[in-house]
């Protein structure tokens, strides 16, 4: 009877230990499972400039003196000397120009707007414009940091890869993106990153100023990330059980 009691306890410990390893179902990406959330595909929307965004621009004209005076780019070093912030009314103040409303425009639309304004004083002016603060932030169990958006249509997978990928302890079921909208309340998007239907959904692309938050999975306290940790858990559990049983009078 005592031997059976001991065997039952050991078997229970083994079950707990086996359940303490991460599986593909728990941490795998792009899974095709019906029990995971199914997200609808939507058309990609380009980012639109918002209040507190900053722009840099370069004026191209045959008159190099005017070009160097008006551009935020130092042509000798290639470095941007100044950036211009979009104020709370949606406008930006640029040298020799009246306030120009850029909030709500894409980068291409803002470029065309600035080009039209420049051509009122420089007939042959062309303008190159880009967003200066094109960055996103990662917090939580995905290596925290702020990273530059180096391409159009950066995906959530590319963004997390820049930060060093998700840790096993990260809660993949409840990844959140906090997305500001100028003077309005920020939008909080929560999604399960494991499903393959995240592709082309509203959660798929990362925009400037996004904050990606990955919380720690509460069940990760009992999880092991390697076989060595798994074996150590079994060994320590059995050793503890034997030690405790040796101190129980009359059990053996």
Is pTM beyond 0.85 here?
no
Residues 168-187: tens digit of each pLDDT: 888 999 999 999 998 889 99
Q: Is the distance from CB of 138 to CB of 215 less than 8 angstroms?
A: no
What integer pLDDT is reported at residue 114 of this predicted model? 96
Computed over its alpha carbons, how large is the radius of gyration of the chain? 28
Q: Is the pLDDT of residue 162 over 50?
A: yes
Rounded Cα distance, 225 and 168, in Å: 7
Q: How many CB atoms lie within 10 A of CB 60?
A: 15
Q: Is the distance from CB of 41 to CB of 201 less than 8 angstroms?
A: yes
Q: Is the distance from CB of 7 to CB of 245 less than 8 angstroms?
A: no
What integer pLDDT is reported at residue 107 of this predicted model? 96
Q: Which of 36-40, 52-56, 199-203, 227-231 has the lowest mean pLDDT?
A: 227-231
Mean pLDDT of 244-248: 62
Q: Is the distance from CB of 229 to CB of 154 less than 8 angstroms?
A: no
Q: Is the pLDDT of residue 3 over 60?
A: no
Domains and CATH numbers, the chain: 2-21+232-246 (no CATH), 28-45+134-220 (3.10.560.10), 54-131 (3.30.1950.10)
Closest listed residue to residue 177, CA positions, set 162, 192, 194: 192
Rounded Cα distance, 145 and 149, in Å: 13
Residues 76-99: tens digit of each pLDDT: 444 445 799 999 999 999 988 999
């Amino acid at each position: 009877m005592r031997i059976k009691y001991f065997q039952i306890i050991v078997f229970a410990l083994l079950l707990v230990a086996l359940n303490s390893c991460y599986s593909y179902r728990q941490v795998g990406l792009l899974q095709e499972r019906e029990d995971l959330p199914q997200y609808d595909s939507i058309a990609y929307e380009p980012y639109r400039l918002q209040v507190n965004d900053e722009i840099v621009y370069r004026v191209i004209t045959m008159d190099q003196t005017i070009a160097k005076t008006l551009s935020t780019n130092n042509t000798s070093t290639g470095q941007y000397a100044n950036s211009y912030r979009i104020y709370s009314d949606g406008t930006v103040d640029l040298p020799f120009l009246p306030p120009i409303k850029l909030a709500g425009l894409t980068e291409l639309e803002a470029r065309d707007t600035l080009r039209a304004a420049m051509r009122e004083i420089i007939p042959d002016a062309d303008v190159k414009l880009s967003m200066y603060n094109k960055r996103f932030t990662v917090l939580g169990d995905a290596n925290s940091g702020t990273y530059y958006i180096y391409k159009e249509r950066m995906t959530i997978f590319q963004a997390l890869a820049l930060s060093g990928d998700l840790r096993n302890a990260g809660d993949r079921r409840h990844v959140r993106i906090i997305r500001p909208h100028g003077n309005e309340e920020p939008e909080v998007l929560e999604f399960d990153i494991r499903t393959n239907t995240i592709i082309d959904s509203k959660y798929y692309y990362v925009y400037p100023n996004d904050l990606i938050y990955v919380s720690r999975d509460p069940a990760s306290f009992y999880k092991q990330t390697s076989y060595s940790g798994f074996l150590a858990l079994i060994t320590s559990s059995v050793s503890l059980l034997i030690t405790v049983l040796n101190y129980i009078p009359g059990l053996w």
